[in-house]
Amino acid sequence: MTNFRPLARTVAIAGLIVAAGIAVGPAFAGPAEVALLKSYEGSWKGKGQVVGSDSETVTCRMSLTEGNDDKVNYAGRCALSGANLSINGTLAYIDENHRYEGAMTSNVNFSGVAIGQKVGTGIVFNLKERGTLADTNTVIAAGITLSPGAIMVKFEATDSVSGKSVSSTIPFQKL
């Protein structure tokens, strides 16, 4: 049986910035794609609810800064039930793949694959992973929408055996 309390904490961090646990390849992006990514640089703050068998408030802070080779680095921290969780990574536009991609490391050993596409005036990232935690029965899905002046994180983690799940929507505002 899956204990979703630690999973809720893990997914809250993982959902902040979707990405992979490996480095993003060379960017070689055009000026418009780079400018769009860089428009999100700055400090961000978010607050939402993690809902499952229990409901908990999660508060988060995130900083996006200029990286090397037209990439944007990020560092985030969330507090949930007295636990502090952190992530670090990189976002980039990969010309050869015609998409945005990301990389992530966390203090809770979560990794996943994120692909982003420009939609309207923003970028939408999607992540779906199975068994990325020690529990191989866990399926994690997350969507991150970067839109002018706002970031919206939505995620869900489901135990494929029991069907139990936790989910959250966390809106971020630029400080």
How many CB atoms within 10 Å of residue 152?
A: 17
| CA-angle at 9, arms to 99 and 63, nearest 5° | 50
* In contact, 171 and 16? CB cutoff 8 Å: no
Among 60, 56, 52, smallest CA distance to 151 is for 60
Q: Residues 98-120: pLDDT tens digits?
A: 899 877 777 766 666 688 999 99
Domains in the chain: boundaries: 4-174
pTM of the model: 0.75
Report residue 84 as tokens. Answer: 């502090």
The pLDDT, as a whole number, for residue 130 is 56
Q: What is the pLDDT confidence band of residue 47, given thresholds at 50, 70 and 90? A: very high
Among 65, 58, 104, smallest CA distance to 84 is for 58
Cα 144 from Cα 29, distance rounded (Å): 21
The pLDDT, as a whole number, for residue 131 is 52
Cα 12 from Cα 156, distance rounded (Å): 9
Does the pLDDT of residue 6 top 70, yes or no? no
The pLDDT, as a whole number, for residue 87 is 79
Cα 79 from Cα 45, distance rounded (Å): 12
Q: For the domain bounded by 4-174, which CATH number is listed?
A: 2.40.128.20
Q: Residues 54-77: pLDDT tens digits?
A: 889 999 999 999 999 899 998 888
16 vs 174 pLDDT, higher one: 174
